[in-house]
Structure 1
Amino acid sequence: MPSLDVPPGRKRDASRDDDLCRAALELLAEVGFGRLTIDAVAARAGAGKATVYRRWPGKAELVVDALSRMKAAPDRVDTGSLRGDLVEFAGHLDSGDDPFQTSVTAGLVSSLVHDADLRAAFAERFIAPRKRILRTMFERAVARGEIPSRPDFGPLADVLPALAIHRMITTGLAPDSAFALTLIDQVVLPLAHHSVPARDTSTPTSGRTGFPS
C-alpha cells in the first residue's frame, strides 16, 4: 500500500488536498463511484497519481474525506436543549436545493450497498464522528435532566444517521431539513424520552430454555 507519509523536509501542500477532493467530488457526481478512478482524479486536479496516494490509500478514503469536507461535522453543538442541538446538527446534513450535492449523493449511494471498502470508509470517517457528537448531546441532555439515562446511547445515536442513509439508498435523495425535523420530532426525541427497562441478567432456571411451551 502506498505510504501516506510526507517525505522528510517537504511540507504537505494543503491546496493540493482541496484540489484533489474537489476533483473527486466532481467525478463522483459525473460518473459515480464505480467508474471513478485515481488516475481520473489526478488528471482532473492537474496532479500526479503518486500525489493522491501520498494522502489516501485508495479511492474510497479519498471520496469519503472529500464528502466530509463538503459536509463538515460541527465542532461543537450546545444550544442548551436536546431538540435545539439535534436541529442544529441536522442543519449540517442538509443539502438544500444544491444540484451538485444532489449529484454527489446519487453518485455515492448505490455503491455503498455493493462496495465493502467504500462502506467501511464511510462508516469510519463520516458516520462515526457524527455518532460521537450525537452521543455527547444525549449525555448532556441527561445531565440537564431532560431525558432519562440509559446504559448505552449508541443505538439512539444510530437512528438519525441510519435513517438518513436509508433515505439516500432507497430514494437517491440527500436528507433535507423537513426530513430531519420529522425524524427528530417523531422518532429521535420520543425514543430519547422513553425510559429503558433494566435488562434481566438473572441466570435461567436449570432445565428451562426460556421459550414458551
Structure 2
Amino acid sequence: MFCDYFVVGCKTDKGFSVILVERQEGVETSLIKTSYSPTAGTAFIEFNDVKVPVENLLGKEHSGFIVIMANFNHERFMMASGIIRMTRTVVEECLKWCNQRIVFGKPLIEQPVMRQKLAKMISHVESNQAWLESIAYQMCHMSYAQQSQNLGGPIGLLKSHATRSAHEIADEATNIFGGRGITQSGMGRIVEMFHRTYKFDAILGGTEEILADLGVRQAIKKMPKAML
C-alpha cells in the first residue's frame, strides 16, 4: 500500500518476466483489510498504461519463474524462524499465567490438565527449534546451488510443520488463558494477537499443503531406484 517500488511478475511475449515498477501515474493501490493489521500494507495494485524502462528487468527476459523461485528457500526459512520464535513467546506467557492465576485457591499450574497442555506446547516448540537449527547448519555448509537442490523439501516440511504446531499452540494457549485469551489488553494480549495472526505464516510463502507435497515429492525424487 505504501511502497515506492513494485516487484512485478508479468507475462511477456515468450513467457514470464519480472520487472521493477516505480510508483508513478497509472499505478494505483487500494487497501485490503486483513485480520492482521492495516500497517502490513496489503493492497490491490492496478496498473493502467504504465511504461517501464528496459533496464528495470530483473534477471533474464522470459525467465521470471527462476527469479521468483530463487528466494523461496530463504523466505520460508525466515518465516519458520519467526513463527517458532513467537510460539516460544506464547509458551512463556502461558507458563507465567499458570503460575499467577489462582483458581479455587490454587495456581493453575497445579492442575494436571494444564501441565499436559504445557507439555504438548513445549514439545512442539523444542522439536521445531531443533529441526530449524539442523537446517541452518546445513545451509551454512552448502553452496547456494546445493541448497537449491537439496533443501527445498526439508525447508518446506519445516515451515508446514511449524505452522501446524502454531495452530495447536494458539488453540491451547487461548484455552489456558480463558477469557483473557480473547482480550487485546493486559496479560492476554500476546495470546490474542497470536491466535488472530498465526495463519499468515501458514499461507504466505506457500500453504501447508503445498509445502508438505513439495517435501514428499522431493524425497521420492531422491530415493534410490532400487527402493522404488
Q: What TM-score results when the alignment is normalised by the length of structure 1?
A: 0.24
Higher radius of gyration, 1 or 2: 2
Q: Which has the higher strand share?
A: 2
Q: Which has the higher contact order (CA 8 A, sep 6+)?
A: 1
